[in-house]
Amino acid sequence: GDSVTQMEGPVTLSEEAFLTINCTYTATGYPSLFWYVQYPGEGLQLLLKATKADDKGSNKGFEATYRKETTSFHLEKGSVQVSDSAVYFCALNDQGGSEKLVFGKGTKLTVNP
Amino acid sequence: KAGVTQTPRYLIKTRGQQVTLSCSPISGHRSVSWYQQTPGQGLQFLFEYFSETQRNKGNFPGRFSGRQFSNSRSEMNVSTLELGDSALYLCASSEGQGAAYEQYFGPGTRLTVT
């Protein structure tokens, strides 16, 4: 079945450091790919998405490019802030008309001032 | 617009009891999905409803059930609770079905089974 593998961390960075969180996927079709973020005590928020190969999703300084050849969707940010501290989830949707998301295990990011 | 609301936010139940969780989607949203989040298994899909019909179901035992009402509000029920059912239960709503529609998540219901 479909699956998502992401580096589990935790990841600890200093403010203004560069961030990469790796995500790879296995899917039978051509999935849409997502990054969600979960702040403490809250639900998930969509951070960015890409629906086809070579698409780049971006939001709030975060970027991820859909790489079909390496089945990857790595999350990057050039300069992290303390407010970026959260848990990040990579996810895919491979069922056309369905809402079902398959999530990775999540990566906890802590940014220190 | 108000976001997705889930009630109650916290719940403590005893093994063997049953529980009903409620989700009110964003106004105008017709699709509701449920997920279970645990430290060990992460986020797992439970079910998905659209226009009062269950469209998809995850790999959970029959003790987990749900429904959607004509106003798109949804409930999920867990019968004969087990310790392993302790989790954060998240509800998400969207305008339609499929990856083209963004899913908006509620804050979750934290269920503790003792």
Chain B: give the shortest CA distance to residue A27, in Å.
Answer: 15
Of residues B33, B97, B106, nearest to A97 (C-beta): B97
Can you say whether residue A100 is alpha, beta or left, with left for phi > 0 and alpha for psi between -120 and 50 degrees? beta
Q: What is the pLDDT of residue B101?
A: 82
Burial class (CB in 10 A: 0-12, 13-18, 19+), A47: buried
pLDDT in tens, B12-39: 999 999 999 999 999 999 999 999 999 9
Residues of chain A neighbouring B40 (CB-CB closer than 8 A): none
* Residue B92: its H or E element: strand B87-94
Chain B: give the shortest CA distance to residue A1, in Å.
Answer: 12
Cβ pair A31, A50 in contact under 8 A:
no
User: Which of B9, B10, B24, B43 to mutate to probe the A interface, most A CBs <10 Å?
Assistant: B43
Distance CA B93, CA B102 (A): 8
pLDDT of residue A97 exceeding 80, the answer is no
Q: What is the pLDDT of residue A70?
A: 95
Distance CA A43, CA A59 (A): 18
Per-residue tokens: A27: 């899917």
> Does B55 lie at the interface with A, CB-CB under 8 angstroms?
yes
Q: What is the pLDDT of residue B110?
A: 96
Q: Which long-range contacts (CB under 8 A, 24 or more apart) does B94-97 make?
A: B94/A99, B94/B29, B94/B31, B94/B33, B95/B28, B95/B29, B95/B30, B95/B31, B96/B30, B96/B31, B96/B50, B97/A97, B97/A98, B97/A99, B97/B31, B97/B48, B97/B50, B97/B55
User: Which of A99, A100, A102, A108 to mutate to probe the B interface, most B CBs <10 Å?
Assistant: A99
Cβ pair A17, A79 in contact under 8 A:
yes
Residues of chain B neighbouring A49 (CB-CB closer than 8 A): 99, 102
Neighbour tally for B52: CB within 10 Å = 13
Chain B: give the shortest CA distance to residue A26, in Å.
Answer: 16
* Residue A84: its H or E element: none
Residue A14 phi, psi dihedral angles, 5° rounding: -90, 155
pLDDT in tens, B76-110: 999 999 999 999 999 999 998 776 788 899 999 99
The dihedral built from the CA positions of residue A25, A13, B108 and B96, taken in this order, carries a sign that is negative
Q: What is the pLDDT of residue B89?
A: 97
Eight-state DSSP code of residue B91: E
pLDDT in tens, A56-79: 999 999 999 999 999 999 999 999
B106 and A105 in contact by Cβ < 8 A?
Answer: no
User: Which of A90, A100, A107 to mutate to probe the B interface, most B CBs <10 Å?
Assistant: A100
pLDDT in tens, A7-57: 888 999 999 999 999 999 999 878 999 999 999 888 899 999 999 999 999
pLDDT of residue A96 exceeding 70, the answer is no
pLDDT in tens, B53-63: 999 899 999 99
